[in-house]
Structure 1
Amino acid sequence: MTSTRTRLTPEQRRGQLLDLGVRLLATRPLDELSIDVLAEEAGISRGLLYHYFGNKHAFHEAVVRHAADDLIAQTAPPASGPPLERLLTSVTAYVDYVIANREGYLSLVRAAAGGNDRLREIYEEARAVLTDRVFREDPEGHILLDTPAARLLVRGWSALTEELVLTWADDPAGVTREELLDLIAGSLPAVAALAR
């Protein structure tokens, strides 16, 4: 019996390698994600990886970009429904994503705090997309009106959310997942009240 191999386009192969990079990033810090590790896991030569990514830094940047895009897609709120329910759905997806991809997410946070400007830019872009969702409700469904003060408060709420989730993932300290979700989703309306 012979098997038929499907030849992937360069874009498909690169996407496949990025998916593998993101899966590996979920279990290890970014600085431990080397071209050698990915080549071994993918069963391909290092040279082919250099062909697709150029160098280690470009590979890291591409994996982080792919992970950020994945986070944005997985945490998208439903298109309809009451604003607080949509927020809770999105927050739940965010908590689940961070828990499932803890090492990779920590790498993204650390990279943003470190000296790599490009990785910090990717982190900031992803955070902006996540926080901008709060302002994309229909006019009758706003949790928060879009003002400079509200944007500043939502940025702070985003940092609070990230810290709560990462701290809870390290040690829940008797707080259930549902209690964590209630704290996060309930804190935004409290913050919104300050902006009114």
Structure 2
Amino acid sequence: MSTTSSGPRTRMSPQQRREQLLDLGVRLFATRSLDEISIDLLAQEAGISRGLLYHYFGDKVAFREAVVRRAADDLVAQTEPPAEGDEIAKLLHSVAAYVDFVDANYEGYLSLVRGAASEPALRAVYDDAFRALGERFFDIGSSIVPDTPASRLLVRGWQAMTEELVLAWKAGETDLTRDQLLDLLVASLPALMGALPA
């Protein structure tokens, strides 16, 4: 069976092709652990040779790091709060986007969290994303999260708690609905801030 093209094929630049392969790697990240996302799998999914992938990424470690970096960048971008709205609405938007990202990319996200404990390259990506996500809570509004050393420490703890609760929720370890989980997470940050000494 033959197919006919409706127009001339556009040749991609090396950078465009690399970006396309990274996008495919991030799609695989949604349903597979990092150990399952290999050069062989991506070559098969993309219909290209392993050699071409090595040309774009160097080796499998660099490829995996590039995929994780892209996924982390996507997470940071997706959780950006809106410019308008009150502080609680902005907080809810960011937390809901985080929950939805973990929900949609559970296998890859879970393996990133686990891998960050033992692999320095993954740890660096994880730490960069964790820091960017935490920093935005100080931009949402000072009436919820004042920018002090104590509140910064509390935000780090709240982030770790949030990650743990969301992963447990996704794993089915609780009967909470998504909305109940969001209510719990959004209410807990101002409550922690309220415990700070005056």
- TM interval, shorter chain, is over 0.9
Q: Give the superposed CA RMSD.
A: 1.2
Aligned length, in residue pairs: 193
In the alignment, structure 1 residue 129 sits paired with structure 2 residue 132: yes
Q: CA deviation at 1:19?
A: 0.6
Among 62, 74, 86, the alignment partner of 1:70 is: 74
Partner of 2:190: 189
Percent identity, please. Answer: 62
Runs of at least 5 residues in structure 1 that lack an aligned partner in the other structure: none
CA distance in 2, matches of 1:136, 1:174: 33
Q: CA deviation at 1:195?
A: 2.4
Instruction: Give the structure-1-normalised TM-score.
Output: 0.95
Among 113, 119, 122, the alignment partner of 1:119 is: 122
Deviation track 1:117-147 (CA, whole Å, cap 9, x = no partner) reads: 1110110110111111111135xx5311111
CA distance in 1, matches of 2:193, 2:84: 21
Q: Is the 8 A contact 2:82 2:90 kept in 1?
A: yes
Q: Which amino acid aligns with 1:22?
A: V
1:98-109 superposed matches below 5 A: 98-109=102-113
Which 4+ runs in 1 deviate beyond 2 A? none
CA distance in 1, matches of 2:97, 2:178: 12
Partner of 1:85: 89
Q: Is the 8 A contact 1:135 1:142 kept in 2?
A: no
Instruction: Give the structure-2-normalised TM-score.
Output: 0.94
1:3-152 superposed matches below 5 A: 3-114=7-118, 116-137=119-140, 141-152=142-153
Partner of 2:160: 159
Q: CA deviation at 1:173?
A: 2.8
Q: Is the 8 A contact 1:161 1:184 kept in 2?
A: yes
Q: Which amino acid aligns with 1:135?
A: F
